[in-house]
Each structure stands twice: as C-alpha cells, then as structure tokens.
Amino acid sequence: MLQPPHLFFATSQVRNPEPPTLIPPNCYPPHPQQTSEKNGCLAHRGCQLAPNSLPTRPAIRISPARADTLLHPIFLPSPHPNPEPAVPHDVHYDLTEGLGSAEPRQYRDSRSLIRAVESQAGKLYSGKNASQYAVFAPVTQDQLAAIERIRETRFRGHRFHYLNREETLIIKIFAGPFQGLASKGFGALLDIKIARMGLFEDIGRMESTTYKGKGSQKEANCAWKPWKSRPLGTDWPTLIIECGVSKSSDRLAVDAHWWLENSGGQVKIVLLISFSKSRREISLQQWELVTIPDPHVTPGQPRPTRTAPAIMREFDLVVGVSNEASLTLNFEKVFLRPPAEGEGDFTFSQ
C-alpha cells in the first residue's frame, strides 16, 4: 500500500454524517460607489431585497451507505449521465457566503491591489487573524486583464474568482507551505496512482486554468481533465481540488457549488481540503452532484427528482489519531470511461 506524506494521510478521524444544514445567504454590504446610483446591493444591482428575503440554500450530506441508493438509475429523471442542476447557480450566494471579514475594497489600480494583497498575505503567513480572501470592486474586464498580466510575478499561488456583471474580483490568497503540502501533496499521490496504471499521458493537471461559468469565471487550486474525452481548451475538468484554511471552510463549500452547478454536472468530483496549521489537522469533503427525491412536486413542476451538490464523504486527518478511514475516487467519473484490465478506482488510506 502506498504510504502518503507525513502530514497528509498520516492519521484520520471520520465525522458522522450530519443532518442538512441551511445556509442563509445574508445580503452583501452595498458598495459605496453603487448605493447612491443603483440603490441596491453589490449582488443585485437595483434590488430592494431585505437581507433575509432570499431563499436559504441547503448543504446536503449523503452518508456512504445511502450514496449508492440515491444514485441508482430508478431515481434519475433520465439516463443522461450529466444532469443539469435543478436550481440555476445563484451569483448572490457567491458574493455573500463564507467571506467572513473580507469586506469589499474599492479598486483603484493594480499597484494598490498588489500592496493590499501582499499585506494581507503577510498577516496570513505569520498566523495572524487575517481573512484568506480579498474582495475588490468595481473591477472592469480591462482592469482584470491588466491584473492577469502580472500573475506570473505577483499572484502565482493565489486564485481568482471574477463576477462579470457585478465587476467584483474575489482573490483567494495562498496561505503558505502548509496549503501547498495539503493540496499538491494529495495531487502528487493521485498522479502516482494514475502513472502506475499507465495513464499519465491520458489526463492533464490543469492547475490555475480559468473556467467560465454563468456570469462569472473561476480558477481551482488543482484540476484534472481526461484529454481523449475532453480535448478542447474550453472543456471542463472532471476532478477539482479547492484548498484553504479551516476558518474558510464555508467559502470552500461555495466553491464546490460553483464547479458542480456552473459545469452542468460535467465536473464530477470536488474535493475540499481545509487545514489548521496550529492543530496539525486536515479536513476533507468529497462533493458530487446527486439526484434525490424532490419533496416539492407541483403541477407546474411535476418531476419527482432534483439534482443538487451534496457532501458524499467527509473526515478529518489528525496527527496521533488513527483509524481505517479511506477516500475513494471513482475511476469512471475521473476518466469518463469504464476501467480496463489493470485499472480501477483510486483509493487513499493510511
């Protein structure tokens, strides 16, 4: 059995599945440059919505024992392997959930943005109480292009999420070597397993490639895409890794929703890795788009099922606590074909 790096799959502790949690999308603080002209919030220009007037968003958790049952073909609305999410992706959710103390800053120029991000990154690296996210608005498409041109020298480890209509740039700041160990360490383990099956040239690791969704664009920490099934540059990856500090776990859930919903189910698996350097603990969540019974069937909406992002598996990796927990990535969801002889699912365990 492959032995993982010391700080990664060293030890683990499974968390029992929890009941569904409702995530209220509280209204985003209005941007000072928009309030007087638009009389609305940063998420909905011109809207008159009260902070709690939008519908809540459930975080569905599926226990491993129920996962196979819920994904059984009799529950699917059609035999199509890539069901569209039942609810369109909510851009307001991207602007409100999980950003914590990251208040929007007025964008002036690229130099001031660099100074602000580097200052916040320094606090984050030193363990001070700083948010992992920086939000700037308004940032036009031309200004975003100028920021992109300095990526190689200034922002190589950071990841961008840009919302077009809202002209808002959300930067996830690289949290230092421990984050690199968590995300790239897992990626290295997966690459080794792929290479041992002789498939290393059949799949690409996309790193910071930008993908365009519905009204926004985003980068993952790591991504994998099978070349034979998806040869075009605009094709979506099948596997995504998003990584961040433990206090950013709510924001990582926003990332999972974005990938699964904006890709229309073409992204098959999203792994969320959150870590605490002080506690020497790493938490993992495996998200997928699943088809579940819809309790709100009406004459206007007669379909008995709906699709939604769900947590299929979650557990903690804690130094000094050992058990038999493991993580399995379905081969067919990663490569979009059944495994041949000598190929199979990717299992990670102690």
Report the pLDDT averaged over residues 274-286.
83
Residue 343 CB partners (closer than 8 Å, separation 6+)? 197, 199, 331
At 195 the pLDDT is 96
Sequential DSSP letters for 238-277: SEEEEEEEGGGHHHHHHHHHHHHHHTTT-S-EEEEEEEET
Backbone phi and psi for residue 92, each to the nearest 5 degrees, phi listed first: -55, -40
| Amino acid letter, residue 140 | T
Share of the chain above pLDDT 90, in %: 41
Residue 113 CB partners (closer than 8 Å, separation 6+)? 107, 136, 147
What distance, in Å, lies between the first and last C-alpha atoms of the chain?
A: 9
Question: For 25-48, how does the pLDDT look when each residue is reduced to its tens digit (9 = 90+)?
Answer: 333 333 333 333 333 333 333 333
Question: For 177-195, how does the pLDDT look when each residue is reduced to its tens digit (9 = 90+)?
Answer: 767 777 778 889 999 999 9
Give the CA distances from residue 291 to residues 37, 177, 227, in Å, rounded to whole numbers and listed in that order: 42, 38, 27
Please report where in the chains the tokens 């094709």 appear, as a residue.
235
Give the CA distances from residue 260 to residues 55, 103, 215, 265, in Å, rounded to whole numbers and listed in that order: 20, 26, 15, 5
Report the pLDDT averaged over residues 258-287.
90
At 323 the pLDDT is 61
At 191 the pLDDT is 94
Contact 313, 12 (CB under 8 A): no
**CB half-sphere exposure, 108, CA atoms < 13 A:** 7
DSSP for residue 301: B
Please report where in the chains the tokens 């379905």 appear, as a residue.
330
Residue 135 to residue 254: CA distance in whole angstroms: 15
Residue 107 to residue 136: CA distance in whole angstroms: 5
At 60 the pLDDT is 60
SS3 75: helix
Residue 320 to residue 313: CA distance in whole angstroms: 21
Question: For 297-317, how does the pLDDT look when each residue is reduced to its tens digit (9 = 90+)?
Answer: 777 767 778 889 999 998 887
Buried b (16+ CB within 10 A) or exposed e, 252-284: bbbbbbbbbbbbbbbbbbbbbbbbebeeebbbb
Nearest to 136 by CA among 102, 165, 107: 107
DSSP element (H, E) containing 219: strand 216-219
Residue 53 to residue 64: CA distance in whole angstroms: 34
- Reported confidence tier of residue 8, pLDDT bands at 50, 70, 90: very low
| Amino acid letter, residue 125 | Y
**CB half-sphere exposure, 230, CA atoms < 13 A:** 21
**CB half-sphere exposure, 70, CA atoms < 13 A:** 23
Contact 256, 309 (CB under 8 A): yes
- Reported confidence tier of residue 69, pLDDT bands at 50, 70, 90: very low
At 62 the pLDDT is 54
At 46 the pLDDT is 33
Residue 285 to residue 253: CA distance in whole angstroms: 9
Give the CA distances from residue 150 to residues 70, 107, 173, in Å, rounded to whole numbers and listed in that order: 46, 16, 15
Report the pLDDT averaged over residues 280-284.
84
At 24 the pLDDT is 31
